[in-house]
Structure 1
Amino acid sequence: MLVVLAVSIALLLVMWQGARLAREWALAELHHTAGNALQLSRANLTGYLTRHDYLPHLLATRESVRRFLAQPHDIRDVPALNRLLNRSRAYADVSDIYLLDRGGTTIAASNWQRADSFMGQNYAFRGYYRQAISGHGGRFHALGTQSGKRGYYFSAPVWANGRTSETPPDGVMVVKVGLEGIEREWQSLDATLLVTDANGIIFMASNPDLRLTALKPLSEGVRRGLLATRRYTDDPLPEAGFDVLETLPGGARLMRLDGRDYLNLSQPLARFNWRLNILQPLAPVTQAQWLGALGAGGSWMLLALGGAIGWQRRRLRRERERFAERERHTLAHARDELERHVEARTRELMGSNRQLSQEIEERKRAEESLRQTRDELVQAARLAVLGQLAASINHELNQPLGAIRAYADNARILLERGRPEAAADNLVQISELVERMAAISAQLRQFSRKGDDTLTDVSAQACFDYALRLFRARLEAADIRVRLQMSEATCWVRADSVRLEQVLVNLIGNAQQAMCDSAERQLILSAEHRDEWVILSVADSGPGLSAEALDHLFEPFYTTRAAGKGLGLGLSISQRIISDLGGRLEARNRPEGGALFIIHLPAVATPRALPPETPANA
């Protein structure tokens, strides 16, 4: 218990000493920073005000001003002089310029056109008038009686006919300099700047709440003197509320205002009989005190912790020496057990690896079997469509076969009658019919062949043409009108022509069967190039698709036909084919009635090589 108490007391002493040293150092730094800022602000304020000192003297010597005072009142050109003073005000960037006559009444002013104009106002009570009318330049700071704005006034005597020792001035030229600009610059500082006059009244401040307040209570005599010159008009000039906490060496003070502590430095402005004060917040000093206390306390705690750790290590080392032998025996036993466990686990892992290898091989075989099954399903779907087309192809083949039989019989009869030329014409007709049958057979071979994984540049319009040739007889027999909406430019896609043709044949066959019971039978085929895609669509005028069909249309073995009329694999396989080609197949109902199937395929800007003609065109 005594050890803990001693350590706590020592910790508090160290933290107190660290906070004290940190405070002294932080105050010295803050004093240096505030002193530099005060010096710069003092030079800036002096330069800002004195740069206009020359202006009233310069204007007082202008011939137009002197001539104006020398003329009788009834012939003076007041507007001309007002404009001259306004131009001079704008050029010099001051608040106001005005001319007083010998009695202190304003007879010309730069603000003659404003509601708060000085025209006709008497300022004989102002200090700058009394100084200038006595023949010297004047300076004065006060609140404007008309505008209510603070300003610094420069004045100069004006003689209409030349200066002599016996002649009093004929008027006074006054220049008012506004103070708002320099105060706005002060507000960008991290400190508060304020200017006090000889009576301790804060005339300028970066904090608007401190303006026209007093550092200390004003006596009745001081207030009567201020009212006589109307320096601050009738402003109450309340006390600012500063509390001096401590006086530091060098004249600096610690002060409190509105619950916040500040470091206060001041410098005299002898030329204006002012003092410039700076209030630097003590927050950095407070922060430094806390950091110093925490740093010293932390260092002390580290030292104490280091000593405690050293003592603890010595105690632990003795404990380790006592139990070292027992630990060695325990570790040896644990090592033997670990080796046995590792050996058993290694055997288990080797068995698992062999089993995993077997499962991987089985998975590869299953994937290969699945791929073969998928290809066989695609070919089976193609052959199923081919079977559906067999009746139409058989009808197209029967017509030329009957014609060939008739031409052959005629040729035989003509040869028997000795007319070989006519028989030759029949043989030519037979040859043309055989070519037609070969073209029909080529279409069947083209559709029944298996595709491969090699993709080429394929014309979408050519694929539509081939599919229509296969369905030509069935469409004509069903009285279905085909409307083509093909882009004039060839739409090239990267695809396998056999598989793309199978999808189009399947969609056209579905549309043909959907319109069996429709009064209007119209098949609309379109192909267009849109941005980076080629859009192929097959639309019909049938009854359209039900909500259930739209939800399950591309599922395997789903069909809307009667039992025995289809397996329900066509659209599922078609969607898989389009997906493998990097596109997508969509289905929806047309607003005017009927179903619409849309194929999106990536477009090829320029074909790499023209594809060979299809066997149907051979």
Structure 2
Amino acid sequence: MTPPLSLRSLDRPVARWTVFALVGLVLLTGSVSVAGRFAAERSTAELQRQSAAAAALHEAVMRSQLEKHRSLPFVLAEDPDVKALLRSGDPAQVSALNQKLESLSGQTRAAVIYVLDARGRTLAASNWRLPTSFVGSDYSFRPYFRNAMRGGTAEQFALGTVSQRPGLFLSRRVRQGDTDLGVVVVKLEFDALEAEWRASGEPAFVTDPHGVVLVTSVPAWRFRTLQPLPQADRTRLRQGLQFGRAPLEPLPFVRKGDELSIRAAPGTPEKRFVAAGVATSTPGWTLHLLTPADRALDNAVAAARSVALLATASLLLTAGALLYWRERAHARALRREADRVELEARVEARTRELRDANDRLVLEMEERRRAEAGLQTLQDELVQANKLATLGQIAAGVAHEINQPVAAIRAYADNAAVFLDRAQPGPARKNLTVIADLTQRIGLITDELRAFSRKTSRHAHPVAVEDALSGALLLVGARLRQQGVRLERTGPPAAGVQVVAERVRLEQVLVNLLQNALEALEGVADPRVRLSVEADDAQVRITVADNGPGLAPDAAAALFTPFNTTKAQGLGLGLVISRDIVTEFGGDLSAAPSADGGAAFLIVLKRAV
């Protein structure tokens, strides 16, 4: 910032700073004064808004309390017990109604509930047990009685003649047809409401159309007035006994614009308030709320003046320091430019490093994908090799299964030729039929061998459990019969049960487990293999168990470890491959001791929906 010409023209620094100090002092004084006035106006407006909102809230609470009790005289005016007492005046009914009104008063928190006959005499009251009982009292002089008998309903705020406690009297006429029987009166006192107002810390009070304070959080203000009343009005109000012997003196208020001051006692300082008034649901009543203003106004003015002082001082300090910072701005700009160039160089180097790291990562990912593809190929080849090894183990039995029907075919063909030479076509046709059946059996065996030996996909789909079991048993059936092993099928039938798998790979697992069982049963008396299928809504459990010697603890612990085997010619991969296949199907393969004393293998697969 360029200094003003008048300052530039001064020769001596002392003179320049003297002028600067005088200008600063004027600015400080003016800003503090203006800020104080502005803060006072803003604070007063905010207090007025808060006071109006609080007054509306107080009025809503009072209205809710009044409306709740206004319905009580209406209900009691239709009560059969009340009408019965007013019709008969029977003393025997008084006690019951007294107790009823007493209970109702406690439930509704009404001060007193009482019933007057047509002459204004109290027949029953909720305070019948108290020394200040209304029973027997004559209230015919009360406006709330006369107006209710005349107009049906009435309300009057007055000082109780017996209890000497102020309250609002709500009355309603009781009629039977066209006959006026009496009046039901509910007296409502505002002690709890006044206590709530008192606890808020903001004086609140309600005035009637004459300006007389009826309900107030300051007991000393009750039955005082907002403005001095004419002597005639004061005399009339005293004669009506509505306010007892209250002097009806004006409140100690002094209005100053939007503010209102109160002097509690001579010699004490005045307290400032912001007043708000709101009309209530009771005609002629006005609720007034006084919000304390001393602390708020003083704090607002002090805060505004402090802010103005700090702001102006900061402005002056800024003006004094601006020149110094301007001289150094160019040096800082040069340093920033050098820092920027260095930062760009660092960013470029770091970007280059990240680019190289990304290229290496892409290369590593590609190598890993190739390694995974190679591993998958090796796994598939290992599974295929296991299938071919299994075929080699069962080849002799399968060959026997094929040789038997081939020999039978030859015999039946020779017999058919003999029968044809004898001109006996019937027996010849039967032999040809048997030959066809044997041929079909050979075809089933070769089809199963061809399907079992070829490579299959890894895609799982619904597979019938019974079909997989039948295929596996077809491949190992010859060995079962050769060893004299008895096959037992337990549990419910597996027809219709499907699992999520691939048939040939599932058959490979079953053939491996059956082959292991048959090897374990060599030399066992009465060898047995038990197959069972159990299914629920989510899973299918296939069990292959034998009654062989079982699994030794050390062998069971490493059962599914690659290259771990107890066989002289085994590689220790059959169960590992089988478990991997079942795992790919989303299932599990586990081993446990069999109930027959041997080993049991459990295949758990997802049931196909």
Same topology, TM > 0.5: yes
The counterpart of 1:34, out of the listed 41, 48, 51, is 51
> Does 1:571 find its partner at 2:563?
no
The corresponding residue for 1:265 is 275
The corresponding residue for 1:465 is 470
**Is contact 2:513-2:544 (8 Å) kept?**
no
Q: What is the CA-CA distance between 1:373 and the residue it aligns to?
A: 1.3
1:483 is matched by which residue type in structure 2?
T
Once the two structures are superposed, the pairs formed by residues 285-300 of structure 1 within 5 Å of their partners are 292=304, 296=308, 299-300=311-312
Query: Percent same amino acid among aligned pairs?
Result: 26
**Is contact 1:588-1:596 (8 Å) kept?**
yes
Q: Summarize the Cα distance change of 1:76–1:106 in structure 2 as closer, same or farther, 3 Å threshold.
A: same
**Is contact 1:545-1:588 (8 Å) kept?**
no
Q: Summarize the Cα distance change of 1:39–1:450 in structure 2 as closer, same or farther, 3 Å threshold.
A: closer
Q: What is the CA-CA distance between 1:440 and the residue it aligns to?
A: 2.6
> Does 1:252 find its partner at 2:260?
yes
**Is contact 1:26-1:285 (8 Å) kept?**
yes
The corresponding residue for 2:489 is 482
Q: Summarize the Cα distance change of 1:31–1:456 in structure 2 as closer, same or farther, 3 Å threshold.
A: closer
1:140 is matched by which residue type in structure 2?
A
The corresponding residue for 1:382 is 387
The corresponding residue for 2:123 is 107
| TM-score, with length taken from structure 1 | 0.59
| TM-score, with length taken from structure 2 | 0.59
Distance in 1 separating the partners of 2:356 and 2:283: 101
Q: What is the CA-CA distance between 1:378 and the residue it aligns to?
A: 0.4
**Is contact 1:264-1:280 (8 Å) kept?**
yes
Distance in 2 separating the partners of 1:251 and 1:352: 75
Q: Summarize the Cα distance change of 1:360–1:251 in structure 2 as closer, same or farther, 3 Å threshold.
A: closer
The corresponding residue for 2:457 is 452
Q: Summarize the Cα distance change of 1:486–1:8 in structure 2 as closer, same or farther, 3 Å threshold.
A: farther
Q: What is the CA-CA distance between 1:139 and the residue it aligns to?
A: 4.9
Once the two structures are superposed, the pairs formed by residues 319-468 of structure 1 within 5 Å of their partners are 319=331, 363=368, 365-400=370-405, 403=408, 432-453=437-458, 457-468=462-473
1:451 is matched by which residue type in structure 2?
T
Once the two structures are superposed, the pairs formed by residues 279-290 of structure 1 within 5 Å of their partners are 279-280=290-291
The corresponding residue for 1:314 is 326
Distance in 1 separating the partners of 2:370 and 2:57: 88
Q: What is the CA-CA distance between 1:18 and the residue it aligns to?
A: 4.3
The corresponding residue for 1:98 is 115
2:454 is matched by which residue type in structure 1?
R
> Does 1:178 find its partner at 2:188?
yes
The corresponding residue for 2:588 is 585
Q: What is the CA-CA distance between 1:377 and the residue it aligns to?
A: 0.4
Q: Summarize the Cα distance change of 1:556–1:316 in structure 2 as closer, same or farther, 3 Å threshold.
A: same
The counterpart of 2:531, out of the listed 488, 508, 524, is 524
Q: What is the CA-CA distance between 1:315 and the residue it aligns to?
A: 0.9
Distance in 1 separating the partners of 2:405 and 2:382: 34
1:471 is matched by which residue type in structure 2?
V
> Does 1:141 find its partner at 2:141?
no
Q: What is the CA-CA distance between 1:13 and the residue it aligns to?
A: 9.7
Q: Secondary structure at the match of 2:603?
A: strand
Deviation track 1:552-594 (CA, whole Å, cap 9, x = no partner) reads 55443344xx14353332333233334444x222426489676
Structure 1 unmatched runs, 5+: 159-170, 219-228, 233-243, 606-618
Task: Supply the RMSD in Å over aligned alpha carbons.
Answer: 6.7
The counterpart of 1:152, out of the listed 136, 145, 168, is 168
Q: What is the CA-CA distance between 1:466 and the residue it aligns to?
A: 1.3
Distance in 1 separating the partners of 2:34 and 2:64: 45
After the TM superposition, which of the residue ranges 470-479 and 422-431 deviates more from structure 2? Answer: 422-431
Deviation track 1:379-398 (CA, whole Å, cap 9, x = no partner) reads 11112222332343244345
Q: What is the CA-CA distance between 1:302 and the residue it aligns to?
A: 6.1
Structure 2 unmatched runs, 5+: 1-13, 149-155, 175-180, 225-240, 245-251, 265-270
**Is contact 2:498-2:607 (8 Å) kept?**
no
Deviation track 1:89-121 (CA, whole Å, cap 9, x = no partner) reads 99x99862322798x973344x49x86698774
Q: What is the CA-CA distance between 1:40 and the residue it aligns to?
A: 8.6
The corresponding residue for 1:616 is none
Distance in 1 separating the partners of 2:330 and 2:467: 95
Q: What is the CA-CA distance between 1:503 and the residue it aligns to?
A: 2.5
**Is contact 2:491-2:532 (8 Å) kept?**
yes
Distance in 2 separating the partners of 1:602 and 1:568: 30
**Is contact 2:31-2:312 (8 Å) kept?**
yes
2:205 is matched by which residue type in structure 1?
V
Distance in 2 separating the partners of 1:498 and 1:451: 7
Q: What is the CA-CA distance between 1:292 and the residue it aligns to?
A: 4.2
Instruction: Count residues with an aligned counterpart.
Output: 517
**Is contact 2:468-2:503 (8 Å) kept?**
yes
